[in-house]
Amino acid sequence: MHVLYSQNSLFFCVRDRTHPDDLPFRQPHVLTVLYINQRHSLFSNNDEDLLKFRRKRFISYQELETKRSGPGENGKPVYLEGKEKELADSLFEKEAFNRLASDKIALDRSIPDVRDSKCKDIEYPKELPTASIIIIFHNEAWSPLLRTAHSVVNRSPPEYLHEVILLDDFSDKPHLGQKLKDYIGETWPDGIVKLVRTMERSGLIRARLAGAKAATGDVVVFLDSHCEANIQWLEPLLARIKGDRTRILCNEIDLIDANTLQYGGTGSSSVGGFWWSLHFSWRPIPHHEVQRRKSSVDPIRSPTMAGGLFAADRKYFFEIGAYDPGMDVWGGENLEISFRVWMCGGSLEFIPCSRVGHIFRSSHPYTFPGNKDTHGINSMRLAEVWMDGYKRLFYSHRKELLKSDAGDLTERIELRQRLKCKSFKWYLDNVYPEKFIPDEKVRAYGMVRNAESNMCLDTLGKDEKKTFDTGVYSCQNGASQAEVFTLSLQDEIRREESCMTSNGEPGSTVPFQECHGREDQKWMHNKEKELIIHKMSNLCLDRAEEGNGGSVRVKTCDDSPSQKWTFEHYLDV
Residues found near Mn ion in the complex (CB under 5 A): 224
Which among ligand UD2, Mn ion, none contacts residue 140 (Cβ within 5 to 8 A by kind)? ligand UD2
253 or 348, CB closer to ligand UD2? 253
224 or 542, CB closer to Mn ion? 224
Spell out, one character per residue from 241 to 260, where the chain touches ligand UD2: x when CB under 6 A holds, - when not.
------------x-------
Q: Which residue is nearest to Mn ion (CB)?
A: 224
Judged by phi (left if over 0) then psi (alpha if -120 to 50, else beta), residue 441 lies in left
180 or 253, CB closer to ligand UD2? 253
DSSP state of 38: P
Among residues 65, 95, 108, 140, which is the contact residue for ligand UD2, using CB under 6 A? 140
Nearest residue to 525 via CA among 474, 490, 549? 490
324 or 333, CB closer to ligand UD2? 333
**Which 151-180 residues touch ligand UD2, going by CB under 6 A?**
169
| Complete DSSP assignment for 187-213 | H-TTS-EEEEE-SS--HHHHHHHHHHH
* Span of 175-183, 326-334, 467-475, 533-541 interacting with ligand UD2 by CB under 6 A: 326-334
Among residues 334, 459, 501, 563, which is the contact residue for ligand UD2, using CB under 6 A? 334
Other Cβ atoms closer than 10 A to 409:
17
- Residue 418 found at the interface with ligand UD2 (CB under 6 A): no
Among residues 333, 349, 458, 542, which is the contact residue for ligand UD2, using CB under 6 A? 333
- Residue 225 found at the interface with ligand UD2 (CB under 6 A): yes
By the 8 A CB rule, do 189 and 11 touch?
yes
Nearest-angstrom CA–CA distance, 15 and 113? 37
Residue 52, CA atoms < 13 Å, CB-side half-sphere: 8
Secondary structure class of 406 (helix, strand, coil): coil
Q: Going by C-beta distance under 8 Å and a sequence separation of 6 or more, which residues neighbour residue 305?
A: 248, 250, 272, 334, 337, 338, 348
Cis bond upstream, residue 369 (ω within 30) = no
Instruction: Please state the closest distance from residue 304 (CB atom) to ligand UD2, in A.
Output: 11
Amino acid code (one letter) for 84:
E
Nearest residue to 449 via CA among 491, 481, 479, 485? 485
Among residues 144, 203, 273, 357, which is the contact residue for ligand UD2, using CB under 6 A? 203
Instruction: Please state the closest distance from residue 327 (CB atom) to ligand UD2, in A.
Output: 8
128 or 204, CB closer to ligand UD2? 204
Which among ligand UD2, Mn ion, none contacts residue 333 (Cβ within 5 to 8 A by kind)? ligand UD2
- Residue 364 found at the interface with ligand UD2 (CB under 6 A): yes
- Residue 144 found at the interface with ligand UD2 (CB under 6 A): no
Which among ligand UD2, Mn ion, none contacts residue 364 (Cβ within 5 to 8 A by kind)? ligand UD2
By the 8 A CB rule, do 250 and 309 touch?
yes
- Residue 136 found at the interface with ligand UD2 (CB under 6 A): yes
Instruction: Please state the closest distance from residue 107 (CB atom) to Mn ion, in A.
Output: 18
| Host H or E run for residue 91 | helix 82-95
Instruction: Please state the closest distance from residue 77 (CB atom) to ligand UD2, in A.
Output: 20
Sheet strands (E) in 113-213: 131-137, 161-168, 193-197
Amino acid code (one letter) for 353:
C
Nearest-angstrom CA–CA distance, 35 and 185? 14
Which among Mn ion, ligand UD2, none contacts residue 346 (Cβ within 5 to 8 A by kind)? none
224 or 328, CB closer to Mn ion? 224
C-alpha distances out from residue 13 to 22, 33, 190, 206, 371, Å = 13, 12, 12, 21, 34
- Residue 306 found at the interface with ligand UD2 (CB under 6 A): yes
Among residues 97, 137, 350, 523, which is the contact residue for ligand UD2, using CB under 6 A? 137
Residues that bind ligand UD2 (CB under 6 A): 136-138, 140, 169, 201, 203-204, 207, 224-225, 253, 306-309, 329-331, 333-334, 358, 364, 366
